[in-house]
Structure 1
Amino acid sequence: MKAVRFYAPGDIRVEEIPVPQPGPGEVVIKNKVTLTCGTDVKTYKRGYRYEPPFGFGHEASGVVAAVGEGVTNFKVGDRVVAHNSAPCGHCYYCKRGDESMCESLIQNQFDNGAYAEYQLIPAPIVNMNMFHMPDEMSYKQAALLEPMACSVYGTANCPIEIGDYVVVNGCGPIGLGFVRMCVLRGAHVIACDMSAARLEAAKKLGAVDTVKVDEVEDQAQAVKDLTEDGRGVDVAIEATGVPSVWESAMHMARPGGFVLLFGGLKKGSEVSLDANLMHYSQLTVKGVFHTTPMYVHSTFEMIKMGQFPEEIFVQNEYSIDDTEKAILEHASGAVIKNAIVYPD
């Protein structure tokens, strides 16, 4: 089968490898669709915190091709979507309800990347974060599970009240997920990005105002000017993974406001935060990573409800041989996501 592996920044390779065989509790999926992701873009450009080579891609859906011993909830031919991760459920952090900090968190893409014709799903994910797709759900729609679960979890960490001003910095897929979730929470959402196409998508998802950041001299001031009395937003969300935006997000918040830092930075990155602003404006600044099973399940229900329309999030189709082209088009900002589509 064909699969993509990451070797170094700018170096991903389509290779022929054996079709995986499921062990006890495991499932092998024949992928129908894999979606490009901002994390894929960042990994392609700068690497990840793990040493290469490793698998690549983590947003896919398909059909069960084989099941291992002891699997009873899924059978060959089932239409399914599997999240990319699962916590252990018994370490210190899992017992405290901080599953995204799990000491043994499985991140399946590094062993069994989703840019592949077949993907092995480990038993913990099968048991915890794998779902039967309703007949009316498309493969592209289902494959939105992982990024939207991150947005749902991130939004749940924000103290948003009805009528609050919220800015979302970065309107890639996860940023757009934040836009949608904050709108559903009753917020007045301000969306910021350099891409006109992504800002238009934000409007379709309910954003009231937009800021094209390459057209303003001071992004923080431009955001504050859109709030009542220019006081700043109640909640500022960072979803770019750019250090300068981490730093500027707190300047958008009102005194007593909340700042969520979600976009992951390159390993070894450091940022400078205005200590006086944090202290005298009594800001709360919180970092959040990934998601948890509770919010994966909630997100799947929201996908079934049609809250994340595939026509807004997914644009063009590519073959697995053109994965690099799909990722580079995603990186350009011309699209929200692209889909790698596999032959039947």
Structure 2
Amino acid sequence: MLAAVLYGQEHLQLEEVADPTPEPGEVVIRVGAATTCGTDLKVWRRGGHARMLKPPTLFGHEAAGQIVAIGAGVTGWQVGDRVVANNSAPCMTCFFCQKQEYSLCTDLSFNNGTFAEYLKIPAQIVKHNLYPIPEGLPDAIAAMTEPLACVLHGAARSNVKPGDRVVVLGDGAIGLMFAGELVRLGAEVFLFGGNEQRLQIGEQFGVAKTFNHHQQTDIPGTVKSFTEGWGADVVVEATGSPAVWEMAIASARPGATVNLFGGCPRDTTITVSTEQLHYCELTLKGVFHSTPHYVRSALELLASRSLPFELLISDHQPLKNLEQVFFDMRDRKVVKVAMIPA
């Protein structure tokens, strides 16, 4: 089969590799659509990921498709079932899983290789994070279950209450998903980004106001200008930049929650004012990944069609164009692209 293999920093090749065969407990799906992701872009640009993969490796982690082979011992599934598989599953037995803190599992089973004709799903994911696609939901939309699950997890950890003024920093797919979910939770959302087309998508998700950061010299000052000088009730950082992490903290009111969601490059640090943190009673949260509960919730939300997630799919492209798609993502010409094996 044709598959994408990541070898290092901006070094991606399409190669012919052996078709996968399921071991006991596993299934193999024919990929219907694999969506590109900001995490994939960061991994491609940085040449690796601290937790999820180490080159050389099959690449991509968002996909939906149809089961074509089933390993021994698998029950409840049939060849022909349309499914979406999360890119990981917790072990359910470690210290953190016993505390139901599944995103901190010490033995998360990650799976990569969605940019291919076929994808093998490990037994742990089959057992805990494989779901049927609701009838009528296109593969490209269902494939966004994984990033949306992370967003739902992040939103739930953000202490958002109806009527809160929430600032989202970042207009990538994750920032836009956050904006839509936070609006759904009853917040008044203010979205900061650097791309007018993406900010317009944010408006269609219902945000109260958008701001182009290229036209803002002082983002924390701007936030205070529409919050009576206090700052936002909740700030969500969705860029993965240490400088923006610090900006998020500076944009928060006393008593606020700051969700530092975007994953920064390894070994980076930020500076935090101990005076502000202590006397303003700030809550700073790093939120990582998702849990099976939020994977199920994400698929249900996508199937409800209550938010226009289809706006995040900028294009559909054949797998052979994958490298060019990543250059287009780097240049912010597209949000997400559905890669179609052909």
TM tier relative to shorter chain: over 0.9
Q: Which residue of 1 aligns with 2:7?
A: 7
Q: Which residue of 2 aligns with 1:269?
A: 268
Deviations 1:96-116 (Å, cap 9, x if unpaired)?
Answer: 11111111001111xxx1111
For residues 139 and 211 of structure 1, the distance between their equivalents in structure 2, rounded to whole angstroms, comes to: 32
Written as runs of structure 1 = structure 2, the 5 A alignment for 1:101-140 is 101-109=104-112, 113-140=113-140
Q: Which residue of 2 aligns with 1:225?
A: 225
Length, aligned pairs only: 339
Match of 1:119, SS state, is strand
Match of 2:336, SS state, is coil
1:201 aligns with 2:201: yes
* Aligned partner (choices 57, 60, 64) of residue 60 of structure 2: 57
Deviation at 1:151, TM superposition (A): 0.5
1:149 aligns with 2:149: yes
Q: Which residue of 2 aligns with 1:248?
A: 247
Deviations 1:79-138 (Å, cap 9, x if unpaired)?
Answer: 1111111000000000011111111001111xxx11111000011111211111122110
For residues 331 and 226 of structure 1, the distance between their equivalents in structure 2, rounded to whole angstroms, comes to: 32
For residues 285 and 17 of structure 1, the distance between their equivalents in structure 2, rounded to whole angstroms, comes to: 44
For residues 21 and 104 of structure 1, the distance between their equivalents in structure 2, rounded to whole angstroms, comes to: 23
For residues 233 and 267 of structure 2, the distance between their equivalents in structure 1, rounded to whole angstroms, comes to: 30
Q: Which residue of 1 aligns with 2:69?
A: 66
Deviation at 1:75, TM superposition (A): 1.1
Deviations 1:252-297 (Å, cap 9, x if unpaired)?
Answer: 1111111000100111111112222212211110101000111111
Which TM-score applies when normalising by structure 1? Answer: 0.96
* Contact 2:302 2:309 survives alignment (8 Å): no
1:82 aligns with 2:85: yes
For residues 244 and 307 of structure 1, the distance between their equivalents in structure 2, rounded to whole angstroms, comes to: 34
How well do the aligned residues superpose, as a CA RMSD in angstroms? 1.1
For residues 161 and 296 of structure 1, the distance between their equivalents in structure 2, rounded to whole angstroms, comes to: 22
Which TM-score applies when normalising by structure 2? Answer: 0.97
* Contact 1:145 1:300 survives alignment (8 Å): yes
Deviation at 1:323, TM superposition (A): 0.8
Match of 2:206, SS state, is coil
For residues 99 and 144 of structure 2, the distance between their equivalents in structure 1, rounded to whole angstroms, comes to: 28
Deviation at 1:52, TM superposition (A): 1.6
Q: Which moved more, 1:45-54 or 1:286-295?
A: 45-54
For residues 108 and 98 of structure 1, the distance between their equivalents in structure 2, rounded to whole angstroms, comes to: 20
Q: Which moved more, 1:310-319 or 1:197-206?
A: 310-319
Match of 1:234, SS state, is strand
Deviation at 1:63, TM superposition (A): 0.9
Q: Which residue of 1 aligns with 2:166?
A: 166
Match of 1:108, SS state, is coil
1:94 aligns with 2:97: yes
Amino acid at match of 2:103: S
Deviations 1:23-58 (Å, cap 9, x if unpaired)?
Answer: 111110000111110001101111222532122111
For residues 194 and 101 of structure 1, the distance between their equivalents in structure 2, rounded to whole angstroms, comes to: 32
Deviation at 1:237, TM superposition (A): 0.4
Q: Give the unaligned 5+ runs of structure 1.
A: none
For residues 146 and 331 of structure 1, the distance between their equivalents in structure 2, rounded to whole angstroms, comes to: 21
For residues 4 and 309 of structure 1, the distance between their equivalents in structure 2, rounded to whole angstroms, comes to: 29
Written as runs of structure 1 = structure 2, the 5 A alignment for 1:241-320 is 241-320=240-319
* Contact 1:167 1:233 survives alignment (8 Å): yes
For residues 274 and 324 of structure 2, the distance between their equivalents in structure 1, rounded to whole angstroms, comes to: 42
For residues 245 and 257 of structure 2, the distance between their equivalents in structure 1, rounded to whole angstroms, comes to: 13
Match of 2:131, SS state, is strand
Written as runs of structure 1 = structure 2, the 5 A alignment for 1:315-334 is 315-334=314-333
Q: Which residue of 2 aligns with 1:177?
A: 177
Deviation at 1:310, TM superposition (A): 4.0
